[in-house]
């Protein structure tokens, strides 16, 4: 069963099409990797899911609820982290999460739980503006994870983290469907990173969905077309390059 489905979802800004008629199918209880180079339309798609920007065309449903009719109901089910950490710099990490908790109507213990989950308990009293980039990233993740939402949308969640942090967050994301029974949509521009987390992937390039399915199937398709499959980075680059050539796009 798909928890998120889009139907010809499109977003156009003046003469630039950021997302072009994509049809996504995200199965419930899985980690779905959303892959693509910078500017492919990953963040724009996630922003549309969250109601931060309005689709120009097409539609989508999240857990059977339609946008824009059920916008608030949809948001009740989603924990999100988009582009960069968003927080009140004048408040501490704990106070930031307290605001989110109040809005979501969660118990007080959920703040402590979220802080523990991302390893910020020690720094909870420090002002968020004084956090390092990695700590801000963790705070953003905590505000997405608070209350164990059934759907998580994480846009490049490991940006700015050190290797240990990246490993921790990857392991956490991988464990979420089993631990919290949730569906995770995670974006990245690194296939190697997505491979370590995702069950299914969707590859976007210049707003077009060029592949959707399981990673093994992608590898089979790629091998059949004569592209390299030993190194995932090369596979991804070859795929994007082929799509660019087909569309006549010069990067």
Partner 1 sequence: MSVFLECKKIKRTGFIPTFLSGGLLAAAIPVLNMAVRSENYVGLSDTPLQILLDANWQMMAMLNVLLIVAGACLMYHTEYADNAIQKMRTLPLKESQMFFGKVILLSAMFVVVLVIEATSLAFCSFHWFEVYNDFWLETGKTLGYSLLLTLPSVILSMLISSACKNMWVSLGIGVVCVFTATMVPVKNFILSIFPFAMPFQIFGGTDAERTLQFIYVALIEIVVIGIAELLFIKVRRSFE
Q: Does residue 125 sit in helix, strand or coil?
A: coil
Instruction: Report angle CA 236, 224, 185 to the nearest 5 degrees.
Output: 40
With CB under 8 A as the contact rule, the residue among 29, 39, 61, 95 that binds partner 1 is: 95
Stretch that binds partner 1, among 67-75, 109-117, 169-177, 211-219 (CB under 8 A): 67-75
With CB under 8 A as the contact rule, the residue among 87, 150, 156, 158 that binds partner 1 is: 87
The smaller minimum CB distance to partner 1, of residues 150 and 191, is found at: 150
| Measured distance CA(28)–CA(99) in Å, rounded | 29
DSSP 38: T
Q: Which of residues 114-173 bind partner 1 (CB under 8 A)?
A: 127-129, 143
Minimum Å gap between C-beta 109 and partner 1 is 19
Q: Is 241 an interacting residue with respect to partner 1 (CB under 8 A)?
A: no
Closest CA relative to residue 141, chosen from 159, 129, 123: 159
With CB under 8 A as the contact rule, the residue among 66, 102, 130, 179 that binds partner 1 is: 102
Residue 1's Cβ-count burial label (10 Å; 0-12, 13-18, 19+) is exposed
Q: Is 103 an interacting residue with respect to partner 1 (CB under 8 A)?
A: yes
Alpha-carbon torsion (135, 138, 140, 146), positive or negative:
negative
Q: Is 70 an interacting residue with respect to partner 1 (CB under 8 A)?
A: no
With CB under 8 A as the contact rule, the residue among 7, 59, 66, 86 that binds partner 1 is: 86
Cβ(167)–Cβ(194) under 8 Å? Answer: no
The smaller minimum CB distance to partner 1, of residues 105 and 248, is found at: 105
Q: Is 4 an interacting residue with respect to partner 1 (CB under 8 A)?
A: no
| Measured distance CA(200)–CA(242) in Å, rounded | 21
Size of the site for partner 1 (CB under 8 A): 33
Task: For 88-114, give the secondary structure using H, E and C.
Answer: CCCCEHHHHHHHHHHHHCCCCHHHHHH
Q: Which residues bind partner 1 (CB under 8 A)?
A: 47, 50-54, 72-73, 75-76, 78, 80, 82, 84-91, 95-96, 98-100, 102-104, 127-129, 143
């Amino acid at each position: 069963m798909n928890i998120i489905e889009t139907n010809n979802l499109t977003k156009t800004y003046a003469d630039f099409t950021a997302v072009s008629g994509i049809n996504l199918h995200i199965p419930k209880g899985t980690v779905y990797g959303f892959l693509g180079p910078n500017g492919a339309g990953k963040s724009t798609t996630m922003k549309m899911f969250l109601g931060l920007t309005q689709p120009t065309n097409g539609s989508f449903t999240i857990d059977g609820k339609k946008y824009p009719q059920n916008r608030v109901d949809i948001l009740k089910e989603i924990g999100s982290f988009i582009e960069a950490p968003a927080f009140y710099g004048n408040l501490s990490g704990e106070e930031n999460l307290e605001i989110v908790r109040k809005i979501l109507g969660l118990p007080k213990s959920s703040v402590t739980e979220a802080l523990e989950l991302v390893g910020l308990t020690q720094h909870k009293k420090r002002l968020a503006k004084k956090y390092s980039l990695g700590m801000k990233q963790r705070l953003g993740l905590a505000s997405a994870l608070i209350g164990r939402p059934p759907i998580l949308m994480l846009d490049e969640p490991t940006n700015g983290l050190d290797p240990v942090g990246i490993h921790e967050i990857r392991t956490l994301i991988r464990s979420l469907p089993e631990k919290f029974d949730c569906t995770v949509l995670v974006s990245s521009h690194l296939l190697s990173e997505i491979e370590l987390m995702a069950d299914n992937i969707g590859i976007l390039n210049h707003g077009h969905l060029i592949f959707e399915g399981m990673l093994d199937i992608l590898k089979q398709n790629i091998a059949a077309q004569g592209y390299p499959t030993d190194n995932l980075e090369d596979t991804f680059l070859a795929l994007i390059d082929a799509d660019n050539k087909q569309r006549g796009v010069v990067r």
